[in-house]
Amino acid sequence: MPFIFRMAFRETRAAWKRLAFFFLCLSIGVGSIVTLRSVIQTVRHTLTRESRALLGGDLSLSTNRPWDPKVRDTIDSTLASIPYTARADELETMSMVRPEDPEKQVARLVELVGVQQAYPLYGTVTLEGGYPYAHGLLRDHGALLRRDLLVQLDVGIGEAIVIGDRRFTVRGVITAEPGRSTGGFSFGSRVFVDFADLQETGLITYGSRASYRVRLKVADGAADRLASSLRGPLRSQFVSVRSFRSTENRLSDNLVRAENYLSLVGLVIVVLGGVGVWSVVRVFVHQKIKAVAVLKCVGATARQILGIYVLQVLGMGLAGSLAGVGFAGAALWWLRPVIDTTAGIATPYALTGAAIAQGAGIGLLISLLFALVPLLDVRHVRPSLLLRAAERPPHGPDWVKRAAIVSVGAGLVALASWQAASLRIGLVLSVGFAAIALILHGAGLLLVKVMAPLQASRRFEVRYAARRVVRPGNQTRAILLTVGLGAFLVVGVRVLQANLLNEFQLDLRPNTPDMFVIDIQPDQEAGVRALLSDSANGVRTQANLIPVLRARVSRVQGARVQLESYEDVRRRGGLGREYVITYRPGLEANETVVEGHFWDASPAERPEISIEEGLRDRAGLSLGDVVTFDILGRSVEATVTSVRRVDWADARAGGFMFVFRPGPLDSAPRMFIAPIKGPADPVARARLQRALTERFPNVSVVDVQEILASVSKVVSDVTFAVTVVGALVLFSGILILVGSISMTKFQRVYEAAVLKTLGATTRTVALLLVFEYALLGFIAGGIGSLGALGLSWGVSRYAFDVPWTPLPGYVAAGLAASIALVTVVGLAASLDVLRRKPLATLRAE
Amino acid sequence: MIELKGLSKTVMSGDQPLTILHPLDLNVPRSQFLAITGPSGSGKSTLLGLVAGLDAPTSGTIAIDGQDITGMGEDDLARLRSEKIGIVFQFFHLIPSLTALENVMVPLELAARRNARGRACELLDEVGLTERAHHYPSQLSGGEQQRVALARALSNDPPILLADEPTGNLDTANGQNVMELLLKVRTVRGATLLLATHDLALARRADGVLRLRGGVADAVSGPERGVPSFASGIAE
């Protein structure tokens, strides 16, 4: 074995305990990268393998307007030229469902799915009790429900429920349907009925909220050809055409992106570990100066010595990375039940080779990159220092070191870009890191200056501790970087999370609606209004029925944008979606006009619209632009005459991007919605829903309280994930803290021994340590927490676009926690400084 | 074997130049023992450091075995030491993370010698420390540490031994012990020895004595046993 390998081994044997903390930190980061990548890669492989089942066929055509005869002709003629092996039509809408038994005062909003004989083209439907699924179960008004709905409605198999104005019999309980996971977000439980039966319910009327789908099974290889020949003519008809392969690609792209972004969290932890490696190697080199001088004295070249320490770092980096892979394996084993239920797919989760390679590669690279610059200092160690304290070797700018710093920087950018699979994000991340490190460093210098007067304190312990913090050779820089960065990330994430959760809180203003009555037909307007106003029903607000229509922008002739067709609008982005529009004679309480003039109550001669501020800013619309809308096949041209600002937090009157002046839409197929504040009592709420659906079968009630419950579940899942990440970062920070304190312990042990011989009691030495670490904790925590405020402000404002509150409580808590943490860890790591007898220490020196 | 011409060393002390060794000519023939005496701060260690190539002179030249080392780079100097020079320090300077045996092995390994371990064992045996081979420096007494350092200095059979007050940090008995060992191994190997010491009795056993005072060689006593080979003078 070559010399440097042997020496590296010997050095590691002696020093690994002191270095272990940093490499443990590294391994946590590597572990998170490997875990995240393995999970997402497994999900990706499974999902793409199941993409036919996810799409429900080789090819899927879908629209949310009833099939137009012209569109049908296009489809039929295309299908005639390319044969398909199976076809299944599907219809999906939202509706209220109630038990037939009038004693049961309950009604629920559900997603109603009408399927044909051929369903499912791919995958299987699983029923509770292991019964096989067959279309026969649905024939003659049969229905399959989820277990939760059965419980909510208090009905059993064989009993009857009412959908629309028809009676259906519950024939079974669905546990899984192809292409849908239990975690997926939906507006209600899903109910399966026969396609033809659904059309008879009277729920599907012109303008009602429904989606229409045709799924096809075609011969191998024909899917893409068919998709491309259908896509052209159907796109302008608002029909989307998807082949399983495009689904596969889209899913795969999204997951790859998610994987890369999430892995950046792991990278942040690894870099944090890297910062630890940097500071520890600096101290390490300082402690090794004598050994390096001896080695040079007995004939080792600078290259050999550098080789020894680089090898040592690589060895420990490799060990840390392997430990990280081990952590990832354990994490996957532990997470398995959680992942299985959330993704809804039974897949064996295992570490993937690609994830292991990436994680371990990053661990090694980061340890090498961060260790290299401080290690280069061994080149300057003069062997003559063994004879007498050497004068500083007068060397000019160290170009090798500068080049190393530059290449380390470039290496980090490359690493981050590789992980995010985007040079831009890599650059942003690296520049962000560098900026944070610089700011921490600068602020640290500043705070150290501010602390300087403490050196004149009348208390010996404070005086001495302040000197230790301020004077050259202090550990301020290392602790500032690690604890400061840790506090920065943890407090930042916490404040951000609190701000996000605030945004999801139910607005507690009086009269905030908590129920939306939707799909009210024009001829039901008076009846619904009467029912909602009946004091016996307990509605706590006045019923305000708002007319709504669904529309798409198909053309814009504007000052800033010219979009000639729906194709152009789609490409433009931001305008391509379907909008819910309304018309009314005046402004609502939550609106103000910021540009132009809002019309008066008189009907318009020419169609006029008022747009929301965001559309002006994002989509580039302006006053005087002529926008053409496609409203259920009818074209309406309208001129923009005003721009409104809408207070979205005040939902009483709803919020509309486009509002029409009354007149042109009076005869259009429209519906009404009514935002109301329902009764507080849950029984009364259920009774109101039941009363509405009994009299108006097609009307649905969206209970915001239920939706808020599902939203808050999603938020709490996200919060859990964020908390785990924050905890990992914090844990890494503590490890680095313990590491850097034990690393610099030798110096304190010696000082304490000298102080003791000079008459200091153990109590004095202990107090001195407390002051020193409290001071360091104060500096690091203060800077980190303040920086976190900035981070949360920036992210809230620019990334999530939510209002931001500073939450000083979190900053104070962060500061207090940093002081406590640094002090406790510092004291705990220095216990033997207090315990050790001074003579032994001095003799060893 | 060692030839110094006009050798001097000046360092900056604050912003004042301070000459710690004034120009000196010296010639030490092969296998001779030169003692360097003088009070603390007289330049003994500096002179040894310059001869070992641990430090660069301000002026003058140093030739080791006929080879001028003054212009050599750090790494070439390191290789030269590996082949030709063994050094014993006052403060031992063992590597704390290595055992006694490994400390002795390091120079052998650096020189890529075969059977480094066996050779190191022999050397430890020679200094009487076979029993302590697997102890770390912190577990050894001062005298033992210095004997390990001596074994390390001898490991590559260097023709030149430099010793900087090797007993200065030891008690009398241990000091005598180490010194006897040093002189014995030198005699056995016929190595050239430069020994910096305060001990005049010890100096008397040398082939010649160079007395330094404030960085100036104020006396060179000739060979007492009739070897007229030390040529030294104070350069202009």
Per-residue pLDDT tens digits for A162-176: 988 889 999 999 887
Which span out of A251-255, A334-338, A364-368, A482-486 was modeled with the highest average pLDDT?
A364-368
Query: What does chain A come to in residues?
Result: 845
- Kindly report the length of chain B: 236
pLDDT above 90 (res A697): no
User: What 3 state SS string does B69-83 have?
Assistant: CCCCCHHHHHHHHHH
Using alpha carbons only, what angle is made at residue B197 by residues B196 and B203, rounded to the nearest 5 degrees? 100
Candidate ranges A490-499, A661-670, A706-715; pick with highest mean pLDDT: A661-670
- What pLDDT score was predicted for residue B158? 92
The confidence band for B153, taking pLDDT boundaries of 50, 70 and 90, is: very high
Is residue A412 predicted with pLDDT exceeding 70? yes
> Is a pLDDT exceeding 70 seen at residue A180?
no
Whether the Cβ atoms of residue A266 and residue A93 lie closer than 8 Å to each other:
no
The answer to whether A295 contacts B95, with C-beta atoms less than 8 Å apart, is yes
Alpha helices in A288-398 (DSSP H): 289-297, 302-343, 353-375
**3-class SS of residue A202:** coil
Strand bridging mode A634-646 / A608-612: parallel
Above 60 in pLDDT, residue A751? yes
pLDDT, position A573? 63
Percent of chain A past pLDDT 90, that is, above it, reads: 8
Q: Which two three-digit tokens encode residue A280?
A: 């520890």
Specify the long-range contacts of residues A64-68, CB closer than 8 Å, at least 24 apart: A64/A209, A64/A210, A64/A211, A64/A212, A64/A238, A64/A550, A64/A578, A65/A212, A65/A238, A65/A632, A65/A633, A66/A204, A66/A206, A66/A210, A66/A212, A67/A212, A68/A237, A68/A633
A303 chain-B contacts, CB cut-off 8 A: 75
- Top-ranked range on mean pLDDT: pick from A113-122, A654-663, A745-754: A113-122
pLDDT the model gives residue A392: 55
Nearest to A6 among B48, B107, B109 (CB): B109
Report pLDDT for B224.
43
CA–CA distances in Å: residue A571 to residues A171, A247, A564, A574? 46, 20, 11, 9
User: Do A472 and A747 touch, CB atoms closer than 8 A?
Assistant: no
Return the SS3 of A736.
helix
Please state the rounded mean pLDDT for residues A608-629.
87
Distance from the Cα of A389 to chain B's closest Cα (Å) equals 11
Q: Are A60 and A223 in contact (CB under 8 A)?
A: no
**Is residue B233 scored above 80 in pLDDT?**
no
Mean pLDDT of A641-653: 77
- The span from the CA of A507 to the CA of A503, in Å, is 9
Q: Which chain A residue's Cα is nearest to B102?
A: A10
Q: Do B95 and A383 touch (CB under 8 A)?
A: no
Radius of gyration of chain A (CA): 34
* Per-residue pLDDT at A764: 77
Q: Which residues of B touch A296 (CB under 8 A)?
A: 74, 78
Question: Is the pLDDT score of A343 beyond 50?
Answer: no
Q: Give the residue-averaged pLDDT of A514-541.
A: 87
Residue A191 pLDDT > 60:
yes
What is the spatial distance between Cα A373 and Cα A357, in angstroms, rounded to a whole number?
25
Q: Which residue has the higher pLDDT, A618 or A182?
A: A618
Is the Cβ of A302 closer than 8 Å to some Cβ of chain B? yes
**CB proximity B138 to A under 8 Å:** yes
Are residues A214 and A82 in contact, defined by beta-carbon separation less than 8 angstroms? no
Exposure string of B35-64, with b = 16+ CB inside 10 Å and e = fewer, is bbbbeeebbbbbbbbbbbbbbbbbebebeb
pLDDT given for residue A510 in this prediction: 61
pLDDT at A712 (0 to 100): 64
| The pair of three-digit structure tokens given for residue B182, joined into one six-digit string | 């040093």
How high is the mean pLDDT of chain A? 80
Residue B148: pLDDT band by 50, 70, 90 thresholds?
very high
> Which tokens belong to A599?
């019309």
Give DSSP secondary structure letters for chain B. -EEEEEEEEEEEETTEEEEEEEEEEEEE-TT-EEEEE-STTSSHHHHHHHHTTSS--SEEEEEETTEE-TT--HHHHHHHHHHHEEEE-TT----TTS-HHHHHHHHHHHTT-TTHHHHHHHHHHHTT-GGGTT--GGGS-HHHHHHHHHHHHHTT--SEEEEESTTTTS-HHHHHHHHHHHHHHHHHHT-EEEEE-S-HHHHHTSSEEEEEETTEEEEEE--TTS-TT-EEEE--
> Residues 348-407, chain A: which have Cβ within 8 Å of B?
382-384, 386-388, 390-391
Please compute the mean of the pLDDT values over residues A34-62 and round it to a whole number. Answer: 78
What pLDDT was estimated at residue A340? Answer: 53
Tokens of A310: 């680089």
Q: Count CB atoms within 10 A of the CB of residue A509.
A: 10
Rounded to 10 degrees, the C-alpha dihedral A649/A652/A656/A661 comes to: -140
Chain A CB contacts of B109 below 8 Å? 3, 6-7
CB A274 within 8 A of CB A27: no
CA distance B235 to B26: 10
| CA nearest to A367, candidates A432, A325, A320, A407 | A320
Q: What is the pLDDT of residue B236?
A: 35
**pLDDT of A227:** 82
CA angle A484, A467, A783 (to 5 degrees): 20
Average pLDDT over residues A548-571: 82
pLDDT of residue B13: 77
Six token digits for residue B181: 């060992």
B179 touches chain A (CB under 8 A): no
A166-180, A645-659, A746-760, B52-66: least confidently modelled range? A746-760
DSSP string over A79-102: HHHS-EEEEEEEEEEEEEEEES-T
Question: Mean of the pLDDT values across residues A204-233?
Answer: 79
Contact present, A539 and A677 (Cβ < 8 Å): yes
What is the average pLDDT across B143-150? 92
**Average pLDDT for A247-259:** 73
pLDDT-wise least confident of A303-312, A374-383, A395-404, B201-210: A395-404
**B205 interfaces chain A, CB cutoff of 8 Å:** no
pLDDT at A170: 94
Structure token digits, residue B2: 């060692």
The pLDDT score that the predictor gives to residue B161 is 94
The SS3 assignment for A494 reads helix
Tell me the shortest Cα–Cα distance from B109 to chain A, in angstroms.
Answer: 6
Share of chain A above pLDDT 70, in %: 86
Q: Which residue has the higher pLDDT, A181 or A829?
A: A829
State the average pLDDT over residues A155-167: 90
Whether this model's ipTM surpasses 0.95 comes out as no
Give the residue with greater pLDDT, A21 vs A73: A73
Distance CA A149, CA A147 (A): 6
Closest CA to A676 of A526, A533, A525: A533
Q: Give the closest residue to A548 by CA, choosing from A520, A529, A526.
A: A520
From the candidates A19, A387, A400, A749, which should be mutated to test the interface with B, based on the most B CB atoms within 10 A? A387
CA-nearest of B232, B236, B235, B212 to B43 is: B212
In this predicted structure, what is the pLDDT of residue A183?
A: 44
pLDDT at A178 over 80: no
Q: pLDDT tier at A261 (50, 70, 90 boundaries)?
A: low
Q: Is B42 on the interface with A (CB under 8 A)?
A: no
- Give the model's pLDDT for residue A411: 86
Per-residue confidence (pLDDT) for residue A504, from 0 to 100: 58
Least confident of A58-72, A229-243, A810-824: A229-243
Contact between B222 and B215 (Cβ < 8 Å): no
On the question of pLDDT at B225 being above 90, the answer is no
**Helices A704-743 and A244-287, interaxial angle, to 10°?**
30
Residues of B in Cβ contact (< 8 Å) with A14: 96-98
* Mean pLDDT, range A375-389, rounded to an integer: 79
What is the residue whose two structure tokens read 């529309």?
A551
| Mean pLDDT for the stretch of residues B162-182 | 89
CA pair distance A377, A310, nearest whole angstrom: 12
Q: What is the pLDDT, as a whole number, of residue B196?
A: 93
pLDDT at A337: 64
Distance of CA A111 to the CA centre of its chain: 27
pLDDT > 50? residue B235: no
Over residues B200-206, mean pLDDT: 87
Work out the average pLDDT over B203-214.
89
Q: Residue A458 pLDDT more than 70?
A: yes
Please, are residues A717 and A509 in contact by the beta-carbon 8 Å criterion?
A: no
Q: B230: pLDDT confidence band, cut at 50, 70 and 90?
A: low
Token digits of residue B208: 């010649």
**Which of A401 and A264 is assigned the larger pLDDT?**
A401
pLDDT of res. B132: 92
Report the alpha-carbon distance of residue B153 to residue B90 in Å, rounded.
Answer: 13
Higher pLDDT, A787 or B140: B140
